[in-house]
Every structure is written in C-alpha cells, then in structure tokens.
Amino acid sequence: MFDGIQFNSLGEFLAMGGYAFNVWSVYALFAIFLVANLALPLRKRRRILREQRRRLAAGAGREEDGAADRAGWEVSRQPGARAAGWEKRNDEAASAQ
C-alpha cells in the first residue's frame, strides 16, 4: 500500500515541492483549530464539575431555602372601605378645579 505515497524521502515530504510554508501552515492551523475546539470544552467541563462539587460541599442544599418560601400570595376583601367614599371626593376634586 505504500506504493501510493507520493514522496520518496522524508525531506521531500517536508519540502512539499517548495511550498512547505503554505502547506504546513495550513495543516498546523487546522490541527490547532481541531485540538483547541476539543480540548477547551473538555477542560471547561472539568472546571464546571469541580466548581459544582465545591459548591455542594460548601452548603449542601442551601439554595433550596429561601428560594421558594416567599412565593405565596393571598386575596383579601378590605372591610374598611366606605361605600360612598369616592363619591364625596369626586365633589372635592371638581370644586378644586
């Protein structure tokens, strides 16, 4: 299968027919690109999990408290409201104009 190789020596391979800089810089960029976009997410994942563990160790379940307990509500009827309270004010406001 090695018959198909287009180069006779390592030196020839590295020289790329005089285009060594162009060919190898493209492949180098490509390699950096691949490695970076795989390694960085993996590293970030380890960091996230480590932080998560530290948070859990520091205060297990503390987030749960206080998060939900003020989500209550109540509807009430206000007995104190006078029946005709606003009508009287109407006159006041009108006379004040």
Q: What tokens appear for 81 in the block?
A: 């409201």
Say which residue the tokens 């810089």 belong to.
Answer: 25
Q: Which helix (H) or strand (E) holds 66?
A: none
Q: Is 50 in the site for another protein (CB under 8 A)?
A: yes
Q: How far is the CB of 10 from another protein (least distance, A)?
A: 11
> Which residues, 59 to 88, sit near another protein by CB under 8 A?
63, 67-78, 80-87
Binding-site string for another protein from residue 19 to residue 38, where x marks contact by CB under 8 A and - marks none: x--xx-xxx-xx--xx--xx
Rounded CA separation 80/96 (Å): 27
Q: How far is CA 11 from CA 1, 14, 15, in A?
A: 20, 5, 6
Q: How far is CA 67 from CA 51, 64, 73, 93, in A?
A: 21, 6, 15, 45
Q: Is 14 in the site for another protein (CB under 8 A)?
A: no
Q: Which residues bind another protein (CB under 8 A)?
A: 4-7, 13, 16-19, 22-23, 25-27, 29-30, 33-34, 37-38, 41-42, 44-45, 48-50, 52-53, 55-56, 63, 67-78, 80-87, 89-90, 92-93, 96-97
